[in-house]
């Protein structure tokens, strides 16, 4: 059921499943930052994305009676990387830029 929903969403939006992971990862990250009132440099929205992505991968791997960890390792790692790439980059860049700005103000 979960997998068919994602397939239908992918077809409706005319996006590959990889692209869907990227877009939804960024959307969840930004939405979590706004709703939780956290900066883009906070790890909290990033952890929300990671937690939801892990639930997604668990559902992908074990949605049927014959689910297994092999399904997780078959495509799950790529899905996690696609989903987490931009949120990770945004957090790291935000923290780096904020850190540099603070240093510049002190000097």
Per-residue model confidence (pLDDT) at position 72: 64
- What are the pLDDT digits (tens) for 27-76? 999 999 999 999 999 999 999 999 999 999 888 877 755 566 666 667 78
Residues in the chain: 107
* CA separation for the pair 92, 60 (Å, rounded): 29
Number of domains in the chain: 1
| Predicted model pTM | 0.82
Its domain, for residue 53, covers 2-106
Confidence label for 97 from pLDDT (cuts 50, 70 and 90): confident
Q: Are 24 and 31 in contact (CB under 8 A)?
A: no
Please, what is the average pLDDT of the chain?
A: 85
């Amino acid at each position: 059921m979960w997998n068919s929903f994602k397939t239908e969403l992918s077809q409706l939006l005319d996006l590959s499943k990889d692209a869907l992971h990227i877009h939804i990862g960024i959307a969840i990250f930004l939405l979590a930052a706004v709703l939780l009132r956290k900066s883009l440099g906070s790890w909290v929205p990033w952890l929300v994305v990671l937690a939801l992505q892990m639930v997604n991968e668990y559902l992908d791997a074990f949605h049927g009676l014959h689910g297994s960890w092999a399904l997780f390792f078959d495509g799950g790692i790529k899905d996690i990387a696609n989903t987490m790439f931009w949120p990770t980059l945004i957090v790291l860049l935000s923290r780096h830029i904020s850190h540099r700005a603070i240093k510049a103000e002190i000097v």
